[in-house]
Amino acid sequence: MKKILVTGGAGFIGSNLVESLLEKGYQVVCLDNLATGSLRNIHDFLDHKNFEFVEGDILDFDLILKLSKGSFAISHQAALGSVPRSIKDPITSNRVNVEGTLNVFKAAVDNNIERVVYAASSSTYGDSAELPKKEDRIGKPLSPYAVTKFVNELYADVFHRVYGLNTIGLRYFNVFGPKQDPNGPYAAVIPLFIKAILSGERPIINGDGSHSRDFTFVSNAVQANIKALETSAENYNTVYNVACEQKTNLKELVAYINEVEGMNVAPIFANEREGDVKHSLADISKAKTQLGYRPSHLIKEGLSVTIDWYREKK
């Protein structure tokens, strides 16, 4: 039985990943400070014989060193997300996302861990207007959050060159799905829209609705993580796009949610958000070829599952 430390394992993506890892027979140690994660997300696993939850912070190097000892891998999902959050408080975003990741990489080196799979971000593409986005061509970051995620990639490369650490970065493109929190000032657009429409309220679109994203159902992100954790050594020390190669603008997104719900709730248009990328669409050929990644859910399929989950939790 292989042991894996999952940082941020009580968060949205992390908890979905933990569930899959347990189903596959891994021994999972989950580290989360519950700042954005929740015990509700891991409630069903707390009594599992192969699961251990530790409330703690990735800024605590000694704790990461202790918990990762004996692990074959670290799945590093912990971070402070949200472009607006990083613009409001860049210092905290940098501390958590950069210093925390540095702690994870150093602990992995000290414990001679085989590999670290970490959550990278499509925000790294910055002001590049090229579509679709290819891993080896990026622009300048547009927010402090984007800077922190790019720095993670730079540290991963340096740690491989200097210390021999093997890493795989997964550039997530707007992941959504069950367990994503629709509340709070930094909630993502899909849970916000679903929450509004399920309540019969008009969702708020920042901008004219033409902003587009490659929305990625969480099962696809989990699949990519499992593939990365189990792939062979020749696929280490690089980054992969994790998405669906499908572009959806915000007006279309509202229409899709209305379609699933059999409703016709019109959006409200507000000012654009500072730091937002206009369009985002991934080229996932690298992940397909090297990891064997194949999206299991496109946006409409993912929205159907997600809306059912929110309706049950409402």
Structure tokens at 32: 């989360």
Residue 118 is a catalytic residue: no
**Sequence-distant (≥ 6) Cβ neighbours of residue 12 within 8 angstroms:** 37, 41, 175, 177, 179, 180, 181, 218
Among 26, 118, 125, 145, the active-site one is 145
Determine contact, residues 14/32, Cβ cutoff 8 Å.
yes
Residue 75: strand pairing partners: 6, 117
132 cis-preceded (ω within 30 degrees of 0)? yes
- How far apart CA 126 and CA 128 sit, in angstroms, is 6
Which candidate, 168, 133, 177, 118, places its Cα nearest to that of 296? 177
CA distance 199 to 301: 21
Q: What is the DSSP letter of 11?
A: S
**Rg of the chain, C-alpha, whole Å:** 19
Annotated catalytic sites, by residue?
A: 145
